[in-house]
Structure 1
């Protein structure tokens, strides 16, 4: 669900996020000349283990970390929510984040483009959660579980299958275009050497 990234790559990305403070993050993104793909590829290489088991051990070692590149809590919570689902869904692990977490991330994603073009993705649509308080926008309706709305805003078109309403085809098309842009980006995840 993350373009060319494998589940192991996503786990390494989460490890990097929980291991990289503000100064290191700024140094890395500047060193990559603000190319987020190159920045991410370098951090993946740094935090991916020699084996999948080692990558998982590295992740487990930072699970309780409170380190983040900034104090922008909804952004980093979004990393955990979205990439957690990116790992769980392909592996068939059924777990939904709390409604409070999903509502905070969905509200953030609907209000601005940060790491993904989530605000542009839902522009002109009315989003309504069927399991929580999240609602946003005006236009053709898109209704469904908070997790599906959040993941669709993050560009995961497969979650549109869990939504209904006249706005779903528009959202699905926009998600597919977000995924296409991510998948064709050259620096997403370098092949293992």
Structure 2
């Protein structure tokens, strides 16, 4: 199986590669259009700030490529947020794959939300073998609102989308590659789609 990890200068690619290796798979870190288009699965990781990450996608033309992909695509953390319509972070227009806005937690809570929190209302085979209210590892100050694309929910200040799906596109706010055995199960489920 060919697994492309999109390289646009804002990804947590090393931890994703290690997680794939632990599962017995090999990923290729690339920004090459042909390699990404030919891959069986595509992982779109992200760490950092939305507007500068979006600029890097635009500069490499990946903003045009990603929404046209037909194979299963998994956005992680900022990768998921960039797949949304708009982010308050840097007033950034995203890729518009999910018709959802990304907004900032209020000053009533500590940001970023950093650490373990539960996921629930789990839908789709992405969560095969995962029980309701299992813990995943999160680090974020912005969140995707609840929508018809929501396939998992977390509560921090209020409920928000911790996972999204539309057609062949999936996004998770948490870091499956840093969430132990259960996170690896979610990665494995994605690879088995």
Asked if Structure 1 and Structure 2 have the same fold, meaning a TM-score greater than 0.5 normalized by the shorter chain, the answer is no
Query: Structure 1 or 2: larger helix share?
Result: 1
Query: Structure 1 or 2: larger strand share?
Result: 2
Q: TM-score, normalised by structure 2?
A: 0.31
Q: Which has the higher contact order (CA 8 A, sep 6+)?
A: 1
Larger radius of gyration: 1
